[in-house]
Amino acid sequence: MIHIKGNNDLDTDLRTEAFTTLNTLPTEVLTRLVILSKSPKALTYLQTENGFTTIKAFLGI
């Protein structure tokens, strides 16, 4: 069992929703996301608004 703890109740709810959604993904996809989560460059893209916008534009989202 995983214990999810956020900075406050809203953060905990958002994290729980994110983990619930991730749990529906195939194991191969989760494994690839773990690899990306260990990359400082990938994290920079996800942590900044410009980086995230770049990823969304590349994917056509």
pLDDT 10s digit of each residue in the chain, 61 long? Answer: 889 999 999 999 999 999 999 999 999 999 999 999 999 999 999 999 999 999 999 999 9
Angle between helices 40-47 and 49-59 (to 10 degrees): 100
User: Which CA distances in Å does 2 have to 5, 19, 21, 23, 36?
Assistant: 10, 10, 14, 12, 21
Q: Which two structure tokens, joined as six digits, stand for 15?
A: 């994290």
